[in-house]
Amino acid sequence: MKVLIVGGVAGGASAAARLRRLDEKAEIILFEKGEYISFANCGLPYYIGGEIEQQSALTLQTPQSFRRRFNIDVRVRNEVVGLDTQRKCVKVRDLRDGSEYQESYDELILSPGAAPIIPPLEGVEDERVFTLRSIPDSVRIKNHINQAHPASAVVIGGGYIGVEMAENLAKAGVNVTIVEMADHLIAPLDVDMAAEVHRYIQDQGVGLMLKNGVQAIEPGKDGLKLRLSKGQLEADMVILSVGVKPDTSLARQAGLKTNGRGAILVDEHMRTSAEHVYAVGDAVEIQDFVTGKAGYVPLAGPANKQGRIAADNICGIPSRYKGTQGSSVLKIFDMTVAMTGINERTAQEAWLDYDKSFTFSQSHASYYPGAHGMSIKTLYEKGSGRILGAQIVGYDGVDKRIDVLATAIRAQMTAFDLTELELCYAPPFGSAKDPVNFVGYAIENVLTGKVKTFHWHDIARLPKDGSVTLLDVRTPTERAAGHIEGFIHIPLDELRNRVDELDRNKPVYIHCHSGLRSYLACRMLSGLGFDCYNLSGGWRLYECVVNDRRAVEHGCYDPN
């Protein structure tokens, strides 16, 4: 059996290694138009920022080591420029001398990955404008910083790579501003969870310009001038990070079926519309694990799994890819941002009957030094309580909580199941009631009717005519630091003795700092005959989101 693989890195390299483990006699040829077949593209920003000191650390396998270990014919600087699915052959161009040749196959795996989107902007060709997708890209950026010593940089795009680049440029001593057309950073996050990220990243000295776009880049001798949809910026260098697109020109020229975005259509076995041709990684359309709908999620984890699955099926093992849930984690200075499953936008587009819960928990036992709070947003299906998605913003321990919730989603677990999870506990690492357990408890309380909730965006719609009671149960010190207009103040510890100040005939909407004490107040008042609603996430979430939205709408993030 002769198998050709077009493209290395996550999908192609994983497929090649799996094929060899399953079939020692197969002839396997891997083509890569670049110089590297397996490298840590997620580590590229950290090489620029100096966290990863040696360029060699980014290379997971060299062509030579791959050949020695797996007996695979690795051909770097060889670009596949033509595909004939009828004759089962490809045309290859050797980029070192321009010569071309043909290679036949029994089975073919396409793993061309994705390419950076280059917007059609005036001035984008300037040598001080960079993209980041490969090791050579990172070397060019690092060399420019070391040689030109830029004082300022603009990152166009606030996705994963854009935010990581902003952090690492700042660590390299560059003054950085992120320009993002959307109203928040990191598209998979919901706006209410992004608000805390915005506040933190600005505290680290990174500028933000949201709901703003770059119209043109005007090169000058002393720097670059960026004309924006609102205002302008000057910088010594620019990083383009507006997203990626599937690099599928070869597949489309060969007549393989693709979607409107250009991603290759595959079945659950990673087979394309052409017989004996498979496709994996950032070039393919995926099925969302939660909604079952088609999507595009370019992540290394799914690419590795898909490469393995394609290899399995070529070797007669009927493996299936069961969907992508978008589990991801992001480091922003000392902050960790993580997510899995769907966000609210996706839930609404899929017409799911869902609700949400906001909880705030410590990373480990609060009495043990070094505990940090983490904000958790969880989406769940009404009625069943099935977990649909989760987002966490915090510091220590975020990654392990999102991994538990990612596992819960994959296993179709409910909030009731989360309450029963027996998770590791010792004071330096967690609490006897883990933050994941608390997510389950909070949702269970709603599903079983122990409490009713309202959310930060509901407050503006609450009647102010006296027909409802708005109650703040925080301490006087907390109240003095800021409050929601119209909420009367009775501290929780005084509530029992002052309950006669409240009208039992009126619904009571209660908030505290994070939602825990107001839950206790709700249980207390419910037991006394009141109809109570608890503000999920409390004052801390409300204040952060409302001020963030106000800043975005009024352009307060804009330094001009």
Instruction: Tell me how many degrees the CA angle 12-141-81 measures, rounded to the nearest 5.
Output: 35
Which residues, other chains included, contact 244 with Cβ-Cβ below 8 Å and sequence gap of 6+? 114, 115, 116, 117, 133, 282, 298
Tokens 């909407």 — which residue?
Answer: 509
d(CA 384, CA 388): 11
Is 83 exposed, middle or buried (CB count within 10 Å of its CB: 0-12, 13-18, 19+)? Answer: buried
- Report DSSP state, residue 499: G
Cβ atoms of 298 and 114 within 8 Å: the answer is yes
- What are residue 298's DSSP bridge partners? none
d(CA 188, CA 167): 19
Of 42, 315, 424, 556, the active-site residue reads: 42
Cβ atoms of 514 and 538 within 8 Å: the answer is yes
Cα distances from 86 to residues 21, 27, 257, 264, 292, in angstroms, run 29, 20, 15, 18, 32
Residue 42 known to be catalytic: yes
Kindly give the pairing relationship between strand 107-110 and strand 387-394. unpaired
Which residues, other chains included, contact 149 with Cβ-Cβ below 8 Å and sequence gap of 6+? none
Is 64 exposed, middle or buried (CB count within 10 Å of its CB: 0-12, 13-18, 19+)? Answer: exposed
Catalytic positions: 42
